[in-house]
Amino acid sequence: MAKSDEPITIKKYANRRLYNTGTSTYVTLEDLATMVKAGENFVVYDAKSGEEITRSVLAQIIFEQENKEGQNLLPINFLRQLIRFYGDSMQMMVPRYLEVSLESFTREQEKMRQQMAQAFGVNVPSFGPMEEQVRRNMEMFQKTFSMFTPFARPPGKDAPSSGGPGESGKPAASSSEDIDALKRQIEEMQRKIDKISDKD
């Protein structure tokens, strides 16, 4: 049977049971994790309200995986830093940054596996190339922050008083202009990261 491009619909019932409408069977979070690893796309809906709850279900899968012995992927410091971004002015930039970084890592993973095999003869992690990629991503991220003056200013620059004109006497940019500028910075950051990946 040919694999459909359409995502499989999963329904979640009040008793927390998950129903795969593609196979007409009940499934578990473990089953959904297996589907993700196999590259199968699915969307989860609340059976009663019809609301899409894919994000929360995927988060539950991660929670379940993190609780398994030896399966931890998320370092404690990373989790703390992630929590700090909730409600922060930079919150809107974080999801796209993480997405771009993980996409870049995914593209590079086969090359990393080959480097590990050549260096050690076995699948022992070699963190050099990975750390270098992450370091470059972070440098790009921080550079973007410093260029986006409404949120971050270079050291030594005095910010104008809140809500008032800057030193040039021009009124502060509107929030829609801030968002447009931020989107442009994110797109530029993604292009630069892609170029770095292509060079490697």
- Return per-residue pLDDT of the chain as tens, 200 residues: 445 578 999 999 988 899 999 999 999 999 999 999 999 999 999 999 999 999 999 999 999 999 887 878 889 998 999 999 999 888 888 888 888 888 888 878 777 777 777 776 655 454 555 566 666 666 665 565 555 444 444 444 444 444 444 444 444 445 566 677 777 777 777 677 666 656 55
For CA atoms 191, 178, 98, 133, give the dihedral sign: positive
Delimit the domains of the chain by residue range.
8-66, 76-155+171-199
Q: How far is residue 39's CA from residue 34's CA, in Å, rounded to a whole number?
A: 9
pLDDT of residue 60: 94
Q: How far is CA 40 from the centre of its chain?
A: 19
Predicted confidence at residue 160, as pLDDT, reads 45
- Cα 166 to chain centroid distance, Å, stands at 34
Contact 155, 121 (CB under 8 A): no
Residue of 114, 129, 137 lying closest to 196 (CA atoms): 137
In DSSP terms, 26 is beta-bridged to 19
Local structure of 44: helix, strand or coil: strand
Instruction: Report how far residue 59's alpha carbon sits from residue 154's, in angstroms, rounded to the nearest whole number.
Output: 36
